[in-house]
């Protein structure tokens, strides 16, 4: 873990809407569309979906637990106090968000509907373009060379 100097003017990456709200909102829209205008894509796979959902929750919880133990605020509208490079952060720079996407894919499997998969794709695009890019600019400013070295070792998603 790398700890930068304290900066009273640091307000974090400036992400206004929490990523779980973004993903949850897209899943809610997909669920409503699924009810109003069913577009079956595959047979529903409830057991496989539950397994995948559980994996997503576990991954997000692991990342969140490490952030809380390191005493860095997991909210993307708050400053980061440390750069975490252990646990799931060794394999993905965004394991918490990846867990949200895996959970969403589990729901899409359970539903077997086009709307679920469209929600997963849209959630990925929104997170990647509107949240992660903003956070990466912030982390580069906040942690400098340590973050640049981390980026060369660990992929954005997987």
pLDDT tens digits, residue range 72-114?
999 988 888 899 999 999 999 999 999 999 999 999 999 999 9
Supply the pTM of this predicted model.
Answer: 0.92
State how many domains the chain has: 1
- pLDDT at residue number 38: 97
Local confidence band at 11 (pLDDT 50, 70, 90 cut-offs): confident
Q: Is residue 42 part of a domain?
A: no
- pLDDT at residue number 135: 95
* CA 64/CA 150 separation, integer angstroms: 19
Q: Is residue 40 part of a domain?
A: no
- Provide the residue range defining the domain that includes 101: 24-34+49-153
Q: Is residue 85 part of a domain?
A: yes
Q: Is residue 87 part of a domain?
A: yes
Q: Is residue 2 part of a domain?
A: no
Exposed, middle or buried, 140 (CB in 10 Å: 0-12/13-18/19+)? middle
Q: Is residue 88 part of a domain?
A: yes
Average pLDDT over residues 37-50: 97
Burial 14-30 (b: 16+ CB within 10 A, else e): ebeeebeebbeebbeeb
Q: Is residue 10 part of a domain?
A: no
Whose CA is closest to 158, among 106, 93, 104?
A: 93
Q: Is residue 4 part of a domain?
A: no
């Amino acid at each position: 873990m790398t700890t930068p100097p304290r900066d009273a003017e640091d307000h974090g990456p400036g992400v206004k809407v929490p990523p779980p709200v973004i993903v949850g909102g897209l899943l809610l829209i997909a669920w409503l569309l699924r009810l109003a205008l069913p577009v079956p894509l595959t047979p529903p796979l409830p057991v496989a979906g539950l397994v995948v959902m559980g994996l997503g929750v576990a991954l997000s919880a692991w990342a969140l637990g490490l952030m809380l133990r390191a005493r860095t605020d997991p909210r993307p509208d708050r400053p980061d106090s440390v750069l975490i490079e252990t646990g799931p952060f060794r394999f993905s720079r965004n394991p918490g968000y990846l867990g949200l996407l895996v959970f969403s894919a589990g729901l899409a499997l359970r539903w077997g509907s086009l709307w679920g998969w469209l929600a997963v794709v849209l959630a990925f695009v929104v997170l990647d373009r509107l949240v992660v890019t903003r956070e990466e600019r912030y982390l580069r400013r906040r942690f400098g060379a340590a973050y640049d070295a981390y980026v060369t070792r660990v992929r954005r998603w997987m």
